Amino acid sequence: MVLGIYGSGGAGKEVKEIVDELHHWDEIVFIDDMVPADTFKDVKRMPFEQFQNEFNAETAEVVIALGEPKNKIILYNRIKAAGFGLANVIHRTAWVSPTATIGKGVILRAGVVVSADAYIGDNVTILECSHIGHDVIVNDHCQIAGFVIIGGHSEVGEGTYIGLSVPVKEGIKIGRCAVVGMGSVVSRDIPDDVIALGNPARGIRRNDDDSRVFR
C-alpha cells in the first residue's frame, strides 16, 4: 500500500519521519499542488491530479499534513470525492485508551494521550505531548497544537484550531471554526467562528472566511 502525504511543508516533513519509523506502507509519496513533480526527501512528490492517475483506492491511501483547518477541509473533500481512503499516522509513543474512538486521517504525534471514552473525529491532528481528557469530543478537521490539555467532558467543534500550551477547563464547549491563540486559558465556553485570546480566553473578533491561522 502507498501512503500519500498531502502537503510537503513543515508538517509533511514531520509526518514523513513518523511514517518512516512505522514501516506500515510499501511506498511514501508527497502530494503538493503548489510545486511541479519532482523528488523531495528521497521520495516522489507530485500534484494530486498526477497521484490520481498513478494510484487508485485499492493501492493508495492519503493523510493530510497541513495546519490550516480551512485548507484541511478542502483537501479532505477532494480526497473523499476521488475515492481514496484516509490513513491514520500515530507515533509509537502516543497512547490511545482502548475505550477511545479514533476517526480516519488522524495524526497523533509523540507523547499524545487520548483518554478513556474520548472521541477524535476525521482529519484531526494533535501535536506533541497534548492530553485529551476522558469523554472529550474533538470533532472533524481540528488542529490541536503541542502541550494542550483538554479537561474531561469538553467538546471542540469542527474545524477549530487550538494553539500551543492552551489548558481547557473540564466541561467546556469550544465552537466550530474557532481559533484559540497560544497560551490562552479556556475557562468558559467559546462560541462558533470566533478568534479567542487571553486569560481567560475571550473573543476578540470573528473568524471570517478571509481569516487564516498561518499567514
Average pLDDT, the chain: 96
**Mean pLDDT to the nearest integer, 11-18:** 97
Report the CATH fold assignment for 2-87. Answer: Rossmann fold (3.40.50)
Per-residue pLDDT at 210: 66
Q: Would you kindly state where each structural domain of the chain is located, as residue ranges? A: 2-87, 89-204
For 25-61, write each residue's pLDDT tens digit.
Answer: 999 999 999 999 999 999 999 999 999 999 999 999 9
Q: Which residue has the cell 487508485?
A: 56
CATH 2.160.10.10, domain 89-204, yes or no? yes
Q: What is the pLDDT of residue 208?
A: 81
pLDDT at 209 over 70: no
Neighbours of 23 (CB within 10 A): 7
Contacts for 74-79: CB closer than 8 Å, 24+ residues apart: 75/6, 76/105, 76/122, 76/123, 76/140, 76/141, 78/48, 79/6
pLDDT for 191 equals 97
DSSP state string for 44-97: EEE-HHHHHHH--TTTEEEEE--S-HHHHHHHHHHHHHTT-EE--EE-TT-EE-
pLDDT beyond 90 at 144: yes
Per-residue pLDDT tens digits for 174-188: 999 999 999 999 999
**Model's pTM, two decimal places?**
0.96
Per-position DSSP letters for 7-55, written without gaps between them: --SHHHHHHHHHHHHH---SEEEEE-TTS-SEEETTEEEE-HHHHHHH-
